Amino acid sequence: MRRGLRRLRHGGGRSDMIRLVVATAFVALMPGLTPAVAADSSPEARCSAAKTLQLAGFDMKVASADHIKDKGPGHCLVSGSFEQRTGADGKAYAIGFSIALPDSWTGRFLVQGGGGLNGVVRPALGDVAAGTQNGLSRGFAVISHDSGHKGEAWDASFRADQIATLNFAGWSVEKVTVLGKALVATYYGKVADRSYFAGCSTGGREAMASAQRFPTLFDGIISGAPAMRTSRSNMSLAAKNVAMNKISPAGADGAPDRTKAFSDGDRDLVLKGILKSCDGLDGIEDGMIANAAACKFDPASLLCPAGKADGCLTKQQVDVVAETFSPTLDASGRPAYVAFPYDTGVMSTADPIPGLMRFDDKRNRQFKNNAMSFDVDDAVQKADIDDPQQRLINADQWTDLSSFAARGSKIIFFHGVSDPWFSSNDTVDFFNRMSTATKTSKRVEDWAKLYLVPGMAHCRGGPAGLDQFDMLTELVDWVEKDEAPRSVEASGKAFPGRTRPLCPYPSYAQYKGDGNIDSAASFDCRNR
């Protein structure tokens, strides 16, 4: 087996695609694989042998291979890198990865999505939309990666290199998947039975891009709160921040003091106004807005009859609230970005990412934006039209998933309705466009589902959000048993002891009229 896997020495002239084809063919054409170490060897011995693994077609370097028994189920954690090269900017690049290979493997393989601008290898756990039991604990082989560059937080310097940018746009997912499948086949002596992907935010965009650009790569995909067009969402947030700047008095440094635009009482007034208008639309007033699509809150209902007083807002404040939740329009009056839904997390400061209206919070990425004017058309020109790299990174345009659907693959989207970075309405819009553009003999509900999560912030959290739910089990059952998911039960710290059904779009959870309001059993999924 080692002879069959000896490293191919390839020069700089051999393309990445050739290496991928070679590795893919190797995995696909050798179902009778034998593991690098006999299957009856101890897990520790098998893991130790992984330190010297080499794969045909990859310049893989294994940095470590450690058998872990005290953190979750016993597994071999292999970390390393491949695609070693010097970039156009003179920096060293490689795709870093970490793969967890459980002692008790189920035959399933899971690629874990990234976050932010990537640049770090996160723990390979497979915990996105997995409820209380992550993928590794279920016996999945899980691989995580940095998408091909090193960098902290929002370091975008990698975009000076073409390949690094292409990798971030999604090509690293294919490369890592092929590598991971080959590693799994080598380690266990058999190819994976099923392959999955799960990610949120940037990982949600990677999920979308994978279904769009590599439709045969995965059997099942979970895409959460996809950062599908950050050029537009960031533009919209900048415009909303400037609207608040305009009504904020100048601080000691001369910059707009957004803490004075709305008092705590004003913010509470806005939240209570939203709840008063929309909380009961699902049949029960419980501090959650399940039927957000029917919410018609009018900020003008909070307008003071004359001047400013407790319990009402000025005309300027009302206008800012309205603009914050409205679509961001270009000069022609067309939406450059969709509206944000009215929901319970709008004033949150308890989450890592503050609520949509908390531009006064230092953690808000717009906090240092003190501009007093904003040109939407100019911003779109610079962010989209003048930046072809960003257009490639964005995943909102390609809507035809016919090959993905026709081969029997499944995709589940989820999005928190209180997400302050990416409007859940944008994911709804994509889902609708995708449903229309994908021409197959299958109904969209036979291969795609969307779940909106009331009160949940970006990927998790939210002061009134139930952010714990297991969509991974639903996806596996859908792929392997052809059992399509219906409602998914959610719980969370926001309301201890409470459960609610998350309903597939376009339905929502409606209270039946009797029964325990904290029990999911007391709710039905109703169409809007």
Look at 35 and 351; give whichever has higher pLDDT. 351
Q: What was the pLDDT predicted at 346? A: 97
Would you say residue 30 has pLDDT above 60?
no
Least trusted range by pLDDT, from 33-37, 209-213, 242-246: 33-37
- φ/ψ of 151, rounded to 5, equals 175, 150
Rounded average pLDDT over 82-98: 97
What's the rounded Cα separation, in Å, for the pair 301 and 42?
69
| pLDDT beyond 50 at 47 | yes
Q: Over 80: is that where the pLDDT of 36 sits?
A: no
Choosing from 147, 201, 423, 491, the catalytic residue is 201
**Could you confirm whether 419 is annotated as catalytic?**
yes
pLDDT in tens, 410-428: 999 999 999 999 999 999 9
Residue 67 pLDDT grade (very low, low, confident, very high; cuts 50, 70, 90):
very high
Asked if 135 contacts 110 with a C-beta cutoff of 8 angstroms, the reply is: yes
pTM of this structure = 0.93
> Could you tell me the pLDDT band of residue 34, with boundaries at 50, 70 and 90?
low
The confidence score (pLDDT) of residue 39 equals 61
Give the pLDDT confidence of 475-484 residue by residue, as tens digits.
999 999 999 9
Residue range 150-207, pLDDT digits in tens: 998 799 999 999 999 999 999 999 999 999 999 999 999 999 999 999 999 999 999 9
List the single range of 35-49, 114-128, 441-455 with lowest mean pLDDT: 35-49
At residue 152, the pLDDT reads 85
Alpha carbon 168 to its chain centroid, in Å, reads 14
What is the average pLDDT value for the chain, to the nearest integer?
A: 93
Q: What secondary structure does DSSP assign to 461-523, as a single string? A: --TT---EEBHHHHHHHHHHH------EEEE-TTSTT--EEE-BTTEEEEE-SSS-TT-GGGE
172 is known as an active-site residue? no
Encoded tokens for 413: 């989207």
pLDDT, tens digit, 9 for 90 and up, residues 352-389: 999 999 999 999 999 999 999 999 999 999 988 899 99
Q: Cα 435 vs. chain centroid, distance in angstroms?
A: 20
- pLDDT score recorded for residue 35: 62
Residue 2 has pLDDT above 60, yes or no: no
Per-residue confidence at 27, pLDDT binned at 50, 70, 90?
very low
Mean pLDDT within 26-39: 51
**Rounded to an integer, what distance in angstroms lies between the CA atom of residue 221 and that of residue 195?**
9
79 catalytic residue (yes or no): no
In which band, very low, low, confident or very high, does the pLDDT at 528 lie, cut at 50, 70 and 90?
confident
Annotated catalytic residue, options 279, 458, 487, 491: 458
Please compute the mean of the pLDDT values over residues 282-307 and round it to a whole number: 96
Position 10 scores a pLDDT of 33
Give residue 384's pLDDT: 85
Q: Is the peptide bond before 506 cis (omega within 30 degrees of 0)?
A: yes
pLDDT for 32? 44
Question: What local confidence, expressed as pLDDT, does residue 506 receive?
Answer: 97
Which DSSP category does 339 fall into? P
**Structure confidence at residue 298 (pLDDT):** 98
What H or E segment, with its residue span, contains residue 112? strand 108-112
Could you tell me what percent of the chain has a pLDDT over 90? 90
